[in-house]
Amino acid sequence: MNEITISKKKLFTWLLFIILVAGVGFGIYAFRRFIPDRKAKAQPIAAASLTTADGDQLAKKAAVAGAQAFYSVDYQNGKQAWLDQLCAVSTSTGCTMDQNVFVPALWPQLEAAKTSTTVEVSAQEKVLDQVNPLGNVPTQVWKLGIQLSVPWPAQEQPLTSFPALALVMRENGTWKFERFLTEDEAQALEKKAGQP
Where does the pLDDT of residue 144 fall: very low under 50, low under 70, confident under 90, or very high at 90 and above? very high
Q: Is pLDDT at 53 greater than 80 in this prediction?
A: no
Residue 158 lies in a domain: yes
CATH at 126? 3.10.450
pTM over 0.75: no
Distance, CA of 150 to CA of 158 (rounded, Å): 9
Q: Where are the alpha helices (DSSP H) in 35-180?
A: 53-71, 79-89, 92-97, 103-112
Residue 30 lies in a domain: no
Consecutive H or E run containing 100: none
Residue 129 lies in a domain: yes
Residue 169 lies in a domain: yes
Residue 114 lies in a domain: yes
Residue 22 lies in a domain: no
Query: Tens digits of per-residue pLDDT, 83-136?
Result: 999 999 999 999 999 999 999 999 999 999 999 999 999 999 999 888 877 778
Domain with 48 in it? 43-193
Beta bridge partners of 21: none
Query: Tens digits of per-residue pLDDT, 58-89?
Result: 999 999 999 999 999 999 999 999 999 999 99
Residue 1 lies in a domain: no
CA 101-31-105 angle, to 5 degrees, is 10
User: How many domains, the chain?
Assistant: 1
Residue 159 lies in a domain: yes
